[in-house]
Amino acid sequence: GLNPLSFDMSFGMLAADHSHAPRVQADILRLPIASASVDGVTCGFALRNLVDLGLFFHELSRVVKQGGRIALLDVSTPTNPIIRWGNSIYFGKIVPRIGGLLSNRAAYNYLPKSVAYLPEPSVMVQMLEEAGFEHVQHEQLSGGLTQLMHATKK
């Protein structure tokens, strides 16, 4: 069977995890895991917060066994102009107002800007290949609101 582990730098995120998996507060650029010891890695909505994606992709390559799989999900900028327009209003105006009512408006203002930090999909695919992955695929989901990359460790 599977033995999932949850990693996050933020204790608050780990405290909110209801998966019942063991939780570890750690830097995902230096995972406290032996090399070639995991069957796969999933990562949701963290890529845009990393300054050095190449370092993260190499760390994933280090910990994943040969033939193991990774799946990386994050926000994206929609390619369809109508969806992009609606998305910019939603994330630029509505989400920060709602977030400001509930908590910290500045944090919600950051969300749409954070997408701009991600390289173009072709660049991320190349970075994953250089880190030791093959069969790298990039998919736009939800009309381009999110993006999914998945690959296999060579």
Helix (H) or strand (E) holding 138: strand 133-141
Pairing assessment for the beta strands 133-141 and 146-153 based on DSSP bridges: antiparallel
Q: Model pTM?
A: 0.80
Please, are residues 31 and 59 in contact by the beta-carbon 8 Å criterion?
yes
Residue closest to 64 by CA, chosen among 39, 86, 44, 101: 39
Q: What's the token pair of residue 54?
A: 């190449």
Please, are residues 28 and 7 in contact by the beta-carbon 8 Å criterion?
yes
pLDDT in tens, the chain (154 residues): 678 999 999 999 899 988 889 999 999 999 999 999 999 999 998 998 888 999 999 999 999 999 999 999 998 877 666 666 566 666 666 666 676 666 765 655 555 555 666 889 999 999 999 999 999 999 998 777 789 999 999 9
